[in-house]
Amino acid sequence: MSIFLNNKTGVIKLKLMKKTVFFVALLMIIPLITGMGFNESGSSAPGVSASANKKSFSPGESGVLNISFKTGSKVKIPKEPGVTMELTSGGIEGNGFQDYSGGDGEYISNSKVKYNFRVPDNAVSGSTITITGKVKFGYCTVTDGVCKMANQNFTAKIKVK
């Protein structure tokens, strides 16, 4: 490629080339700044929400936390590795997940799991218990088959009768 600095056409070519290089560089830098890669499918870790199977419980009563994964249309939660949960506050006794092995092949049906718990015997009537925890799970992009691990926090509230 030759650059003519003395004629008008060469100056225009040089300016055009500078603008093209600038825009190509800009297109390469924007994904780096925003944290996106060129081959990324746009699937960030799904969010998690939790709710109890009913609003109020008696002291010593058992209940179920419904854990829902907020996935995109092309993201699924695989059964393996299994979903794990750590309760960080609330004083409830965790009794483990209900079986989620049935359903949609290698993925969890409806992107939901159920966790059994028990309200403490000494829970104060009329009080509200805030249950917080962390869920660890895998998620897969269906289009390219890439799977990753995620940790998400959740909060749920129950009232004591």
Read off the pLDDT of each residue in 156-160 and give the average, rounded to a whole number: 96
Structure confidence by residue, pLDDT tens digits, 105-138 = 899 988 999 999 999 999 999 999 999 999 999 9
Q: Check residues 36 and 139 and name the one with the higher pLDDT.
A: 139
Looking at 1-5, 35-39, 155-159, which range is the least confident one? 35-39
pLDDT given at position 21 = 59
Under a CB-based contact definition with an 8 Å cutoff, are residues 69 and 44 in contact? no
CATH architecture of the domain 47-160 equals Sandwich (2.60)
* Band (144; pLDDT cuts 50, 70, 90): confident
Confidence of residue 32 (pLDDT cuts 50, 70, 90): very low
Give the whole-number percent of the chain exceeding pLDDT 90.
60
The pTM (predicted TM-score) of the whole model is: 0.71
